[in-house]
């Protein structure tokens, strides 16, 4: 499946329909909700996933993160996280 959808700056990631991403103030974290379960995300995972709206490209997402955090050269980390998120089926990359 990964071979059919190689990750590139033009990829447009979206949260898989089986998950729901939301901010939980009580946990001070983004969480991914799914049937009878929850994954508590760390700050960077939450910041990446909340930008995966099915419209922004991975290049857009990386640029937005670099701007928000005053950083550069984040694309390697972002791509690696998205690859992991696709593997875990949190995220889909519609072609």
Partner 1 sequence: MGHVAVMNTQARVPGPPLWLLLELTYRCPLHCVFCYNPTDFTRTGPELSTEDWLRVLREARALGAVQLGLSGGEPLVRDDLELIVAEAHRLGFYINLITSGVGLSETRIAALKAAGLDHIQLSFQDSSKQMNDFLSSTRTFDLKSKVAALIKQYDYPMVLNVVLHRLNIDHVEEILNMADRLGAEYVELANTQYYGWAWHNRDQLMPSRAQVERAEAATKRFRERIGRPMQIYFVVPDYFERRPKPCMNGLGSIFLTVTPDGTALPCHAARMLPGLEFPNVRDSGVKHAWFDSSGFNRFRGDDWMKEPCRSCPEKARDFGGCRCQAFLMTGDAANADPVCDLSPHHHLVTEAVANAERPRPAQQPRPAEEKPLVFRTPANSATLFP
Where along the sequence are the contacts to partner 1 (CB under 8 A)? 17-18, 20, 22, 24-27, 31, 33-38, 89
- Token couple for 36: 């009878």
Shortest distance (Å) from residue 19 CB to partner 1: 9
User: Tokens 């959808």 belong to which residue?
Assistant: 5
Q: Which is nearer to partner 1, 4 or 10 (CB)?
A: 4
Closest by Cα among 58, 70, 80 to 11? 58
CA 72 to chain centre: 18
Q: Which is nearer to partner 1, 43 or 87 (CB)?
A: 87
Q: Which is nearer to partner 1, 27 or 43 (CB)?
A: 27
Residue length of the chain: 95
């Amino acid at each position: 499946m990964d071979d059919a959808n190689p990750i590139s700056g033009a990829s447009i990631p979206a949260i898989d329909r089986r998950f729901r991403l939301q901010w939980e103030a009580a946990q001070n974290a983004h969480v991914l909700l799914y049937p009878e379960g929850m994954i508590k995300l760390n700050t960077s995972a939450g910041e990446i996933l909340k930008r995966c709206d099915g419209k922004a490209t991975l290049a857009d997402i990386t640029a937005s993160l670099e701007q928000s955090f005053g950083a550069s050269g984040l694309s390697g980390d972002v791509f690696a996280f998205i690859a992991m998120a696709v593997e875990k089926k949190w995220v889909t990359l519609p072609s």
